[in-house]
Structures are given as structure tokens and as C-alpha cells.
């Protein structure tokens, strides 16, 4: 399929937008009228630039409030249209989007609408232009695609067809099933946008919160599958109005958009099966089976005490770099004192994921436009398969200590036999939590979903003392890999730099024992206020002994229909803190209900190791 995007989806000048779109490998572009009007480029300039960048101008948009009006308004509409046709001829564009009218002047009369659209199509035909008529979700009389299709049928002119837009259809919960009744050659254009489920007026939602397919909650792939079954052979074209994308760097947004289309085509292929051809497909996702390690950049000795107190054992040292390997069960932590010191102190720099096929994992990531990291780091290192996540975290694909593949652990001299690492109660890494810059949250969400094949969970808002924090977890089906993506509020005050906290959560099979061990070693856990425990008593009848234990050990508690969750936190060092969790039964969450008390306690404490 040809891939296209509307210029309104990106930030910057029209020249910047075209460059970004061309650079990301699109085949075509929709020129949003306002972008042209405010530009110093003439239509001829735009035409040349687009051609130089290998971009077809697929659509000029939008033309508004044309149909079903009294004669004098019609005359004005036709006059306006002639002006647009002239601009389009200069642009070399042959398709114009006409939105269903929102004007109070419009009359609820399908025959009138059809007659006037036919007139417009006749005029357009004289210029070799085709009209794509689109039902806006908030159109005055025409607000869904089968109504628009009825009018197009009535108008019956070869230069008049439909434009379908996934947002306008799915946002109003209109069933896309009937699309299959439309001949493919009468669908002149297909615009695509996703959106997160938000409870608001559809127009407000559309103007501010659209996002690229795969970043929201609409079933865009299902709709595209319907459209392709008709034989539609025009482009898949993204049209996104998003307050954040308007502010983000256009090159990066264009790449993100392209990633979205690649992932979308793959999903459409799955949905449509053999009935649709011409879809390109990246190598299949390689779902990780667990965490291999978490790598913390920290000065020597900064984290040793903490890890030791949790029962970790320093089992190895890297042969060529100042990196220590700490282990307990299959939970492995690398402490790298050689990486460039962050001004904020210790930070989570990389995660390792167990992959059935590391090379295939990288191929998948590369096909989805993730930056692949150099495979060889040092002359004696084992080869590495790694990519950079959108927030800069390095993601390594590993096969740890398997006979069929070199293991990254081979680079480490064995200080202690790894059997010794089984002394404590910690069994594995339960999850990692990564704070995303506010303008890369959607991109990150798509990365973890499309590149790693993780599934998104519910989107949450967590009240921090200094703002609302958005959080969304992604995980494998079986929960073996869980990543909590947080996005911090912008922060109007000096403490805003506190917001980039990251953490690694370890699963313990006996959190009480881990907490006791930790405390006995003299390490400090995050202290939880007494008021929390008083309230816990009001909420749950836990029994006196258990209550005492929770309070004594600063354990937080949650339960859901499937099980229970116990957790505690270490103090924060630099940007990083550690969490110990115990899942009882089939609890699936992350203790989000306790996030406010954790965040308040963290803000209340002076931080260690901070710059």
C-alpha cells in the first residue's frame, strides 16, 4: 500500500513538514490548506519540493460547508471551489476532500446535497480533479459514512466518491461492517487516526487527542481490513490532530507515524487474511520470555550495600569494563561504573530481555524503525543484539546461559558460583518502571507494543503531591515481562527534576523475610506514614498480626478479585529506587492504589546521590 500523511499531523513550517515526511519514507502527503496558506512557499514550490522528496500530493484538504445550501450560498461555494481548483492545479493535486457541512445554512435534504455535489464534481472534472466526500462525525445532517455513501450514489458522477476516516467512524461507534458494500473504486481516499478512550465531546476529542494507529484504543486495523476488502487501492493516509505532536520534533513524529503504519499493515494482514494482498509485513514479533538483567549506571560502591541488603550476591565482574554482575535467583543487576556519570546520579540505563531469537528480535525492531545499537562493543565482548527505546533506554535481547547461543554472561569472570546466588527469597525481576518525557509517551507506548509485542493495560492517573502522573503498563500475555511506562507532568516548580524516577521491581517469594533481611542489614526502606495503616484497617479486615507486620515493615498492600499484592520500596539513589513485590494468587496489577502514598513519601525524603 502507498503510505501518506497529512501535513497537519506534524509541527513546523510546511517546508519542515515535507522534509520530515520525505525523510521517513512516505510515498505521499495530504496538504492541509492552512499549512499552505501560512507558508512562504508557492504552490509550485510545494509541488517541486514534494516531487524532489518522492512524495505524491495525494489530497488537498479540506473544503468545507459546500452542499445542501440555498442558491446564493451555492454560488459562493462554487466560486470558492474554482479558487481551490486553481491552487490544486498549481500544486499538481487531483483529489480534494470535501467535508460534510457543519453550517447552519445547510438543509437536511439528501437530494439537494447530491445535486449540488454532482455540480461540484462536474466542475472538478473540467480540471481533472476528483472530489472525496467525507462524513464528519459532527456533520450537521450527514455524520456517518453510509449516509455519505447514499448521497454519493444519488449524485452518481465519476468524479465524486467517498473519503473514509477511521476516527469519524470509530469515535462515534459506527459499525464499519457496511463498508464492504461500497465498491472499492468509489472510495477515493482513506484517512487514519486512532485515539485513546476519553469521555468527551467528539469534536474536542478529535481536535486535541487523535494519535497514530496502535497508540490509542480504536480498532483501526479492523476498519482498514474492511476497506481493503472492497478493492480500495489508494493510500493509507494518517491524519492526526494532536496537541503534543504539534509541539514535538517533526522528524521524530514522522518516524513514529511510519512505524505506526508498518505495524498497522501487519495487523490488517492478520485481520484480513488472504482476502487482501499488497500489504508489506515486517518480520514477526519475537515475544520476550523474561528479564535477563537491569543495568544501573552508578559509581562503584553506590549500590552495593543496597543490593547486598536485599540478598543479592556479586557473582561476576566484566572482563574488560568496570561492570559488576549481581544476582539472586534469575534476577540480575549490572552495576556499571564506567558509563558517563549522569548529573542526577545513578540511573537505569539498560534492560536485558530474554529472547527466543535475539537476532530476530533485532530484525523486528529494525523493521519498525528502532535504532539498532552497534553489535560489537569491545574486541573481546560477546556480540550484542540491542536497540534503543524511545526514551534512550537500551534494550538488549539475550539468551542467558543457553547452549544454543553465546551468553552475555560469558563476558563476566565468575567471582562466586551462581548457585550461591540462590540464598535470598528474590526470584526474578517482576517489572521495570520507566518515566517517559511527556512528549514521547505515545511513541514509547507504540514501541513496546509493536516492537516487543507487549500488550497495553489500563491507562491510569496517579496523584503525586506536585501533579497528576499518567501511567500505563505493557506486558507479555503471561506477565513474564512487565514494563510500567510513566509520564510525568511538566512541573511548574523547582522540584520538577525529581520526576524522572525509574525503578526496578524484584519478585520475592517471601517479602516478609526479604524485608527483615533488608532491615537487619541496616539499610533503609521508604518509610510509610502511620495514617496509611490506620486507613488500611478501615478498608480491609486483615487481622491484627498481619496489620502489625505490614506496619512494622513498611509494606504496602493491595488486593483485587484475583489475589493480593505486597510491596516495599528502598530509598531513592539518583534517579533510581528499587521495589520488592510479592504477588499472591493471580494479582495482575502494580499496586497503583498505593502510588500516591509512595510518591508523597519519596517527595518528603531528602534524596541520596543526587546532583
The distance of closest approach from Cβ of residue 200 to its own copies in the complex, given in angstroms and rounded to an integer, is: 3
Nearer to its own copies, 84 or 503 (CB): 84
The distance of closest approach from Cβ of residue 493 to its own copies in the complex, given in angstroms and rounded to an integer, is: 6
Nearer to its own copies, 478 or 541 (CB): 541
Look up cell 489475589; give the residue: 563
How far is it, in rounded angstroms, from Cα 300 to Cα 483? 27
Nearer to its own copies, 34 or 521 (CB): 34
The three-class DSSP label of residue 96 is strand
The distance of closest approach from Cβ of residue 333 to its own copies in the complex, given in angstroms and rounded to an integer, is: 29
Nearer to its own copies, 199 or 374 (CB): 199
The distance of closest approach from Cβ of residue 63 to its own copies in the complex, given in angstroms and rounded to an integer, is: 10
Spatial CA neighbour of 269 closest among 281, 257, 287: 281
How far is it, in rounded angstroms, from Cα 271 to Cα 455? 17
Nearer to its own copies, 301 or 463 (CB): 463
Burial of 495 (0-12, 13-18, 19+ CB in 10 A): exposed
Nearer to its own copies, 13 or 407 (CB): 13
The three-class DSSP label of residue 37 is helix
Q: Find the distance separating the first CA and the last CA of the chain, reported in whole Å.
A: 50
The CB density around residue 479, as the number of other CB atoms within 10 Å, is 13
How far is it, in rounded angstroms, from Cα 54 to Cα 35? 19
Confirm if 245 and 195 have CB atoms less than 8 A apart.
no
Nearer to its own copies, 198 or 373 (CB): 198
Spatial CA neighbour of 66 closest among 112, 6, 128: 112
Q: What pairs with residue 486 in β-bridges?
A: 435, 471
How far is it, in rounded angstroms, from Cα 357 to Cα 380? 22
Nearer to its own copies, 162 or 526 (CB): 526
Confirm if 18 and 250 have CB atoms less than 8 A apart.
no
Confirm if 336 and 349 have CB atoms less than 8 A apart.
yes
Question: E strand or H helix at 332, and its extent?
Answer: strand 331-336
Is 436 annotated in some ligand binding site? Answer: no
Three-state secondary structure string covering 340-400: CCCCCCCEEEEEEEECCCHHHHHHHHHHCCCCECCCCCCCCCCCCEEEECCCCCEEEEECC
The distance of closest approach from Cβ of residue 157 to its own copies in the complex, given in angstroms and rounded to an integer, is: 23
The distance of closest approach from Cβ of residue 471 to its own copies in the complex, given in angstroms and rounded to an integer, is: 15
Spatial CA neighbour of 114 closest among 136, 147, 140: 147
Is 461 annotated in some ligand binding site? Answer: no
Nearer to its own copies, 482 or 559 (CB): 559
How far is it, in rounded angstroms, from Cα 168 to Cα 182? 17
Is 502 annotated in some ligand binding site? Answer: no
Paired sense of beta strands 290-297 and 347-354, if any: antiparallel
The distance of closest approach from Cβ of residue 465 to its own copies in the complex, given in angstroms and rounded to an integer, is: 5
- DSSP state, residue 583: E
The distance of closest approach from Cβ of residue 470 to its own copies in the complex, given in angstroms and rounded to an integer, is: 11
The distance of closest approach from Cβ of residue 248 to its own copies in the complex, given in angstroms and rounded to an integer, is: 5
Radius of gyration of the chain (CA): 28
Nearer to its own copies, 173 or 478 (CB): 173
Paired sense of beta strands 323-328 and 313-318, if any: antiparallel
The distance of closest approach from Cβ of residue 45 to its own copies in the complex, given in angstroms and rounded to an integer, is: 10
- Residues lying near its own copies in the complex (CB under 8 A) are found at 11-13, 33-34, 36-43, 79-80, 83-84, 87, 198-201, 203-204, 208, 243-244, 246-249, 437-439, 463, 465-468, 489-493, 527, 529-532, 534-535, 537-539, 596-597, 599-601, 603-604
Nearer to its own copies, 250 or 476 (CB): 250
Is 191 annotated in some ligand binding site? Answer: yes
How far is it, in rounded angstroms, from Cα 148 to Cα 472? 37
Angle between helices 110-126 and 71-91 (to 10 degrees): 30
Nearer to its own copies, 198 or 480 (CB): 198
The distance of closest approach from Cβ of residue 393 to its own copies in the complex, given in angstroms and rounded to an integer, is: 19
Confirm if 438 and 488 have CB atoms less than 8 A apart.
yes
Is 265 annotated in some ligand binding site? Answer: no
Spatial CA neighbour of 253 closest among 266, 264, 240: 240
Is 458 annotated in some ligand binding site? Answer: no
C-alpha triplet 220, 135, 85: angle, nearest 5°: 110
Is 431 annotated in some ligand binding site? Answer: yes
The distance of closest approach from Cβ of residue 491 to its own copies in the complex, given in angstroms and rounded to an integer, is: 6
Annotated binding site for Mg(2+): 431, 503, 579
Annotated binding site: 134, 165, 191, 239, 431, 503, 579
Annotated binding site for a divalent metal cation: 134, 165, 191, 239
Amino acid at each position: 500500500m502507498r503510505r501518506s500523511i497529512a501535513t497537519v499531523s506534524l509541527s513546523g513550517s510546511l517546508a519542515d513538514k515535507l522534509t520530515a515526511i520525505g525523510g521517513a519514507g512516505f510515498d505521499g502527503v495530504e496538504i492541509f490548506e492552512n499549512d499552505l496558506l501560512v507558508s512562504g512557499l508557492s504552490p509550485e514550490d510545494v509541488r517541486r519540493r514534494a516531487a524532489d522528496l518522492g512524495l505524491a500530493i495525494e489530497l488537498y484538504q479540506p473544503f468545507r460547508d459546500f452542499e445542501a445550501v440555498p442558491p446564493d450560498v451555492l454560488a459562493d461555494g462554487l466560486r470558492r471551489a474554482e479558487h481551490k481548483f486553481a491552487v490544486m492545479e498549481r500544486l499538481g493535486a487531483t483529489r480534494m476532500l470535501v467535508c460534510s457541512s457543519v453550517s447552519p445554512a445547510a438543509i437536511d435534504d439528501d437530494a439537494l446535497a447530491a445535486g449540488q455535489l454532482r455540480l461540484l464534481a462536474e466542475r472538478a472534472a473540467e480540471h481533472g480533479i476528483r472530489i472525496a466526500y467525507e462524513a464528519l462525525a459532527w456533520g450537521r445532517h450527514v455524520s456517518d459514512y453510509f449516509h455519505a455513501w447514499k448521497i454519493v450514489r444519488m449524485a452518481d458522477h465519476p468524479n465524486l466518491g467517498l473519503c473514509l476516516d477511521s476516527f469519524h467512524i470509530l469515535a462515534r461507534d459506527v459499525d464499519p461492517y457496511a463498508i464492504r458494500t461500497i465498491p472499492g473504486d468509489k472510495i477515493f481516499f482513506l484517512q487514519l487516526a486512532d485515539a485513546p478512550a476519553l469521555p468527551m465531546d467528539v469534536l474536542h476529542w478529535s481536535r486535541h487527542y487523535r494519535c497514530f494507529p496502535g497508540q490509542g484504543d480504536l480498532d483501526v486495523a479492523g476498519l482498514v481490513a474492511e476497506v481493503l476488502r472492497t478493492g480500495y487501492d489508494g493510500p493509507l493516509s494518517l491524519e492526526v490532530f494532536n496537541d503534543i505532536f504539534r509541539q514535538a520534533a517533526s522528524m521524530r513524529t514522522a518516524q513514529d507515524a511510519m512505524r505506526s503504519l508498518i505495524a498497522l499493515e501487519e495487523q490488517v494482514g492478520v485481520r484480513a487474511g488472504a482476502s487482501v494482498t499488497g500489504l508489506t509485513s515486517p518480520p514477526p514479533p519475537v515475544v520476550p520470555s523474561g528479564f535477563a538483567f537491569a543495568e544501573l549506571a552508578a559509581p562503584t560502591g553506590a549500590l552495593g550495600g543496597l543490593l547486598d541488603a536485599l540478598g543479592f550476591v556479586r557473582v561476576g565482574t566484566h572482563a574488560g569494563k568496570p561492570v559488576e554482575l549481581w544476582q539472586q535467583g534469575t534476577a540480575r543487576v549490572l552495576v556499571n561504573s564506567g558509563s558517563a556519570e549522569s548529573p542526577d546520579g545513578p540511573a537505569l540505563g539498560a534492560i536485558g530481555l530474554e529472547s527466543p531469537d535475539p537476532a530476530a528480535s533485532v530484525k523486528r525492531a529494525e523493521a519498525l524503525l528502532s535504532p539498532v545499537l552497534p553489535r560489537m562493543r569491545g574486541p573481546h565482548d560477546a556480540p550484542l543484539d540491542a536497540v534503543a527505546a524511545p526514551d534512550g533506554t537500551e534494550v538488549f535481547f539475550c539468551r542467558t546461559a543457553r547452549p544454543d547461543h553465546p551468553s552475555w554472561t560469558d563476558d563476566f569472570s565468575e567471582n562466586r558460583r551462581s548457585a550461591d546466588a540462590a540464598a535470598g527469597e528474590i526470584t526474578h525481576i517482576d517489572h521495570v518502571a520507566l518515566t517517559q518525557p511527556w512528549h514521547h509517551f505515545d511513541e514509547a507506548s507504540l514501541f513496546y507494543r509493536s516492537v516487543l509485542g507487549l500488550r497495553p493495560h489500563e491507562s491510569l492517573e496517579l496523584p503525586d503531591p506536585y501533579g497528576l502522573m499518567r501511567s500505563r503498563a505493557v506486558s507479555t500475555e503471561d506477565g513474564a515481562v512487565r514494563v510500567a511506562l510513566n509520564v510525568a507532568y511538566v512541573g511548574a516548580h523547582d522540584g520538577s527534576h525529581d520526576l524522572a524516577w525509574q525503578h526496578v521491581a524484584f519478585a520475592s517469594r517471601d517479602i516478609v523475610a526479604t524485608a527483615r533481611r533488608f532491615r537487619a542489614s541496616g539499610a533503609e526502606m521508604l518509610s510509610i506514614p502511620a495514617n496509611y495503616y490506620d486507613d488500611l484497617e478501615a478498608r480491609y479486615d486483615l487481622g491484627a498480626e498481619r496489620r502489625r507486620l505490614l506496619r512494622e515493615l513498611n509494606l504496602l498492600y493491595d488486593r483485587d478479585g484475583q489475589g493480593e499484592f505486597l510491596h516495599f520500596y528502598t530509598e531513592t539513589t539518583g534517579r533510581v529506587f528499587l521495589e520488592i513485590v510479592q504477588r499472591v494468587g493471580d494479582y495482575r496489577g502494580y499496586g497503583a492504589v498505593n502510588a500516591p502514598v509512595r510518591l508523597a513519601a519519596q517527595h518528603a525524603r531528602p534524596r541520596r546521590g543526587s546532583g
